[in-house]
Amino acid sequence: MPAETTTPRLTEKFREALTYAAAKHHRQTRKGGDIPYIGHLLSVAGLVIEADGTETQAIAALLHDAAEDQGGKETLDEIQ
């Protein structure tokens, strides 16, 4: 059984970033297939978390392609 904590490292900010990323990339798939693009973002965020990264770093992993793939400066302004 996994261990539990009374002070989770991921807060509401992470959930909000995940929801935002999922909405921004909802129609996007990985190159050459039908795999939803959000899977890539979750994988990168998972690597950050497993490497003992901070919540801010995990959020950056979720959002790392948002501006490039989904709206440029307008998206950057939304994220900030």
For residue 69, name the pLDDT band (cuts at 50, 70, 90). confident
Measured distance CA(12)–CA(36) in Å, rounded: 23
Measured distance CA(28)–CA(13) in Å, rounded: 23
Write out pLDDT tens, residues 3-39: 888 778 899 999 999 999 999 999 989 988 899 999 9
Number of Cβ within 10 Å of residue 1's Cβ equals 3
Write out pLDDT tens, residues 45-66: 999 999 999 999 999 999 998 8
Determine the longest span between alpha carbons in the chain, in angstroms: 44
> What does the pLDDT read at residue 21?
96
Measured distance CA(68)–CA(37) in Å, rounded: 13
> What does the pLDDT read at residue 39?
95
Least Cα distance to 57 among 73, 44, 71, 67 occurs for 44
